[in-house]
Every structure is written in structure tokens, then in C-alpha cells.
Amino acid sequence: MTTTIDASEVHTEAEDHSHDHPTDATYWKVGIFLAVLTALEVSTYWWPEGPATSTALIIMMIIKFVTVAMYFMHLKFDAKVLRYAFFGGLVLAVTVYLAALSSFLFWEGSGTDGYDNAPRAKPMPPPPTDPPPVFTGGGGHSG
């Protein structure tokens, strides 16, 4: 007894998952979004120092981490248990980071008199230098 299979009935596992993955255009949009978010993070250098700046940086860090993990590491398309494990690590990392960050706020005056008030001034760029000499030619070979 022989079994015949119609070609229209055959499909592969790759075809089952192909509809889940985004297009190249989606990856470009995500990349542009991450570039804009990175520029915004860099611009915080000129923001006034304070809790709002620190909070904004932490939120932007989490958004970038989740975006990269979901799209470029393909966690969006993997099993939920992998997402839970990965983002459990994120929660742990942010908790440890915030605990370390709180040490700067709550544990001032810990008995080290010489180091309690570190300088808070931002570094200044170096003074401008003379421009490089202009090449006027004349040193080439003739042929």
C-alpha cells in the first residue's frame, strides 16, 4: 500500500514560524528608535542634575534593554519561559543598581571626612590649539 502526498499539503516548520518574524523594515525602525533614544540619553549630560535626570536615564536604559532583547535577541518570538527568565535577570540587575545608587544618597557622612564632598563640576574641554599647517604641494614626483 502506497501513500501519496499532495505537494500543497506539505509545509515545513520554518513556514509555520515565518509569519511571526518582522520584516527588515521593522528592524530598521527599531534601530532608528534606539539611535534616537541613545541621542536623548547623551543629551542628559546637559540636563540639570537631580532625581528627574537619574530617573529618566534608568527608564531609558530599561526601554533600550527590553527593545534589544525582544527584537534583536528574538525573545519576542521564543517561549514565554525564556522571556520570564531573561526579564527576571533585568529586574534583579535594576534592583542591585538602584541599591548601589542609593548608597550615594543615603550613606553620606560615613566617617570618611576627607572624601564626603567630592567635586561636582563637569570637566572643561581643552583650550583650542593652533590649526595644522596647510600643505601647498610641490613635493610630488613627475612622470
pLDDT in tens, 7-52: 555 545 445 554 567 888 999 999 999 999 999 999 999 988 888 8
Residue spans per domain, the chain: 21-105
This prediction has a pTM of 0.53
Write the pLDDT tens digit of every residue in 65-105. 889 888 888 777 788 888 888 888 888 988 998 888 777 76
Distance CA 108, CA 116 (A): 7
Q: How confident is the model at residue 140 (pLDDT cuts 50, 70, 90)?
A: low
Q: Flag whether pLDDT at 5 surpasses 90.
A: no
Q: How far is CA 128 from CA 22, 45, 124, 133, 134, in A?
A: 48, 22, 12, 15, 17
pLDDT of residue 138: 65
- Cα three-residue angle 129-130-131, rounded to 5 degrees: 115
